[in-house]
Structure 1
């Protein structure tokens, strides 16, 4: 039995736009709720969310049987972190702060079994092989792992063409918040200079035959980036969605109270 097909990776290769959302609660019940919302992909955020390998595994359990594909963002591109995420069952990983082609190549190697990479063989006793039931996993898994790297600094943008030339990188995600801060516009993602760099980066990524991704908190932004050619676009963050909705409900309900 081979490794399961990665539908998200296949969709990116076919240039089928995928709409996603960020998950930062670090909770399996919240993740289960999010699987009912219809998003094509959901990020299990191990960089800024309160996650460890156990909470990531719990969220993978509830996402795996659904149509919402799990994208696991590790805190940093360390081999052991990627190995743990993959052995827990992640098929798609998102690695932050990749500034050079050398870093990108290292991420790819960490996600592939030898001789193409350095991923350890411990998956035979892990969740990813259904605890040994997927006998051909090691010989078929490399082709199904989707590697996404984040370009979110001026250095990454300067090295973008070299990063795009790395075999095994399926897509590049533009990190607009960190990029805008590094460009001197902290908190101002809509600065014209920032948007110009983002637009150029998306154009370069797609021209190289890779998938371009980004996070935006507005439908207008999503439309702009999709029109530019972005393939995987996240349009919200779970905690922000809850907070904004709850604040609006509280405000509107209190407005019903008369001051008399």
Structure 2
């Protein structure tokens, strides 16, 4: 039985169709059940993280299956800009990648090449074995796979900020995403992701993206920071994380009903 080409719309298509900035959250627990709860929240998109979270191939697959059919777009962040990992993620059926720590145009081009079959890239061919092609049930998948994939690259260092115009010019980069926490660290401002110099660097990238006609997003958990970046032109934003919501919510219960409660204090970053 043949299947249609793309099981879901790409993040590129979701951004193009939106009449407002898209709001999303991190999914970091590794739990398909938690991912499914988040998928039904009404948010526009989810980011399943494998850079700083306990997610391997099996748990990513289970989460993709759990959120399938919900009205939400799912991105996955690999732990590195690695051709082999990206190949495995794509074969699992990941359609939307957020590639971390992209510092140069060459690194951005490498990320795009990892998502394309030869002669346009270096993705290994294994569609008969892959969920992405529904085990060769999607007609012409090899010829049209690029239509099913979007690439967002993460700008999170001073080097990346300096190279942002060149990164935006790379064919196949569908959007950029600003990471203020790592950017702050690279500026010698560890834990100060809302420092004015960090904000200025983020807003410089937002302006560059707007000039290039490329959507740009930002990670911002504090509502005032999120609103500020939206006013500065962000097309999409991450405003929370499953694990952070559970941590803060459980601390609030402890503070209300026990003598001690959490002694962790306010988080230094996100």
TM-score, length basis structure 1: 0.94
Query: More displaced, 93-102 or 22-31?
Result: 22-31
Where does 1:16-165 land on structure 2 (aligned, <5 Å)? 16=19, 17-165=21-169
Return closer, same or farther for 1:136/1:3 CA change in 2, 3 Å cut-off: farther
SS in 1 for 2:152: strand
- When the two structures are aligned, how many residues end up with a matched partner? 255
**Deviation digits for residues 56-100 of structure 1 (CA, Å, limit 9, x no counterpart):** 111111122211211000011111111111111111001111000
1:219 is aligned to 2:223: yes
User: Can you give the 5+ residue segments of structure 2 that lack an aligned partner in the other structure?
Assistant: 260-270
SS in 1 for 2:25: strand
Q: Distance in 2 between matches of 1:149 and 1:180?
A: 18
**How large is the RMSD of aligned CA atoms in angstroms?**
1.4
**Deviation digits for residues 129-166 of structure 1 (CA, Å, limit 9, x no counterpart):** 22221122122220231100011011001111110110
SS in 1 for 2:103: coil
Q: From 6, 9, 12, give the equivalent of 1:6.
A: 9
Q: Distance in 1 between matches of 2:177 and 2:233?
A: 13
Q: Distance in 1 between matches of 2:191 and 2:233?
A: 25
Q: Distance in 1 between matches of 2:169 and 2:80?
A: 21
SS in 2 for 1:141: helix
User: Can you give the 5+ residue segments of structure 1 that lack an aligned partner in the other structure?
Assistant: 256-260
User: Is the 8 Å Cα contact of residues 9 and 144 (structure 1) preserved in structure 2?
Assistant: no
User: Is the 8 Å Cα contact of residues 218 and 236 (structure 2) preserved in structure 1?
Assistant: yes
**Deviation digits for residues 100-122 of structure 1 (CA, Å, limit 9, x no counterpart):** 00000011010012221111221
Q: Distance in 2 between matches of 1:115 and 1:64?
A: 31
2:202 corresponds in structure 1 to: 198
Displacement over 4 Å in runs of 4+: none
TM-score, length basis structure 2: 0.90
User: Is the 8 Å Cα contact of residues 15 and 211 (structure 1) preserved in structure 2?
Assistant: no
